[in-house]
Amino acid sequence: MSRPRDDSLSRIRALPDGPGDTPPDPAEVPAGLAGRIADEQLVHALLARELGDARQAGERGVRAVLEALAEPAARPGREGRQPVVQRVLRRTAVAAAAGLVLATGLLLLIPSERPAHAAVDRILAAFDGAADRTYRILVEPEGAPPADPPRRGRHWREKQALRRLLEEPGRGGRAELDGAILYLRGGRQFVLVRPAPNGQTVVNGHDGRQSWLVRPKRPVLVSSDPRAFRIPMPEAMAAVPFVDLRQTLLRIREGYRIAEVSWRPLPGEAATRRYVLAERKAGDREPPTSVELWADPDSGLLRRIVYHGARTRGRPQPQRISLDLVSTDGLPDDWFTHSAHHDAGVEVEPVP
């Protein structure tokens, strides 16, 4: 582990770790260093699989290819474009056309709010019609972090950050929104899985008919009230229920000022997506202070939503809550019913 490293390599930042970073130009890389840079990039790829979102990429790719092979035109030796190529070409064409239409629209309509509302409407329309989606939720403090206790420096903070990461789930004695997974079907059904102490999970959801809550070693609660078992948080924040993204989008459309509609890449990506920034209207004091949305330009599929200045229980500091789309894979038919999330025989208790 302590092998001396090549100084010339340390001066070259090969891997972009942020949206503004760019890889080095091959002409600027001294001869003989390409191999070591390639090794660092391979480590990056291995880490993405070991720790990140790439673990399922291979299997996902195999399934997509098998589906493509089911098409008659995909038989070996046949000529003709394959589905993935068609999809790429179609997406490029649609994106280009959408960009042209949008640019024309913006030129004609600015400063009217019409195109801004149209952008949110498009995301809403896609939301209602979308198939299964899975989002990962991250909660981070926003603004300056609170002061550390005396004589606790960076080393202590790093150890704490690492401990929290490695011990998830299970900190704080209650289910956490940070690290939770949100599953959605259509505009109404959802399942929210939150990590709870001792590696267990608290799961709540709505199957289109009733709300339900599954907790470790306790009866399952069901209610006909669609607002039952929402995420516990202060009253003001409950007005923007995170699990109900559709309501959130409606509220953004009606209650927020659309400050920006443009094209921006998601962090870590190069391709631009439809971007909407909505800010709290003057005089309105309810959090969050602003909301950012990224959506696919051709489908309107919501890729990321970020709430700024949000308030959650047990955290005095304003929080940034982000929901990132991690999968559009189809979920089991019964996934949004409570019985899919607990053993048979667990007591089910209706509540008003």
Name the DSSP letter for residue 242. Answer: T
Question: C-beta of 41: minimal distance to other proteins in Å?
Answer: 4
329 binds other proteins (CB under 8 A): no
34 binds other proteins (CB under 8 A): yes
Question: C-beta of 323: minimal distance to other proteins in Å?
Answer: 12
Task: Retrieve residue 257's tokens.
Answer: 């000022």
Segment interacting with other proteins (CB under 8 A) among 121-129, 161-169, 189-197, 327-335: 161-169
Between 210 and 272, name the residue whose CB sits nearer to other proteins.
272
Amino acid occupying residue 82: Q
Between 25 and 347, name the residue whose CB sits nearer to other proteins.
25
Question: C-beta of 187: minimal distance to other proteins in Å?
Answer: 25
- From 16, 129, 234, 314, residue interacting with other proteins (rule: CB under 8 A): 16
Contacts of 88 (CB under 8 A, 6+ apart): none
Phi, psi of 5 (to 5 degrees): -100, 155
Residues 113-142 that bind other proteins (CB under 8 A): 136, 138, 140
Between 84 and 250, name the residue whose CB sits nearer to other proteins.
84
- From 47, 93, 108, 259, residue interacting with other proteins (rule: CB under 8 A): 47
DSSP H or E run through 119 = helix 114-129
Name the DSSP letter for residue 149. Answer: P
- From 8, 95, 116, 166, residue interacting with other proteins (rule: CB under 8 A): 166
Amino acid occupying residue 58: G
Between 17 and 235, name the residue whose CB sits nearer to other proteins.
17
Question: C-beta of 170: minimal distance to other proteins in Å?
Answer: 16
53 binds other proteins (CB under 8 A): yes
DSSP H or E run through 292 = strand 290-295
Q: How far apart are CA 222 and CA 165, in angstroms?
A: 32
- From 96, 103, 162, 236, residue interacting with other proteins (rule: CB under 8 A): 162
324 binds other proteins (CB under 8 A): yes
Question: C-beta of 37: minimal distance to other proteins in Å?
Answer: 5
149 binds other proteins (CB under 8 A): no
> Do 205 and 190 contact (CB within 8 A), yes or no?
yes
Question: C-beta of 244: minimal distance to other proteins in Å?
Answer: 24
Question: C-beta of 263: minimal distance to other proteins in Å?
Answer: 13
Residues 223-282 that bind other proteins (CB under 8 A): 267-271
Q: How many residues interact with other proteins (rule CB under 8 A)?
A: 78
DSSP H or E run through 21 = none
- 252-290 as b/e, with b when 16 or more CB fall inside 10 Å? bbeebebeebeebebeeeeeebbbbbbbbeeeeeebbbb
Between 55 and 114, name the residue whose CB sits nearer to other proteins.
55
Query: Cα 23 to chain center, whole Å?
Result: 25
Between 145 and 234, name the residue whose CB sits nearer to other proteins.
145
Q: What is the DSSP string of 195-228?
A: E-GGG-EEEEEE-SS-EEEE-TTSPEEEES-TTT
Task: Provide the 10 A C-beta neighbour count for residue 44.
Answer: 13
Q: Is the peptide bond before 197 cis (omega within 30 degrees of 0)?
A: no
The interface mask with other proteins, positions 64-83, x = CB under 8 A, is: xxx-xx----xxxxx---x-
The interface mask with other proteins, positions 80-99, x = CB under 8 A, is: --x-xx-xx-----------
Task: Provide the 10 A C-beta neighbour count for residue 230.
Answer: 19
Between 165 and 282, name the residue whose CB sits nearer to other proteins.
165
Q: How far apart are CA 226 and CA 246, in angstroms?
A: 13
> Do 136 and 310 contact (CB within 8 A), yes or no?
no
Question: C-beta of 190: minimal distance to other proteins in Å?
Answer: 21
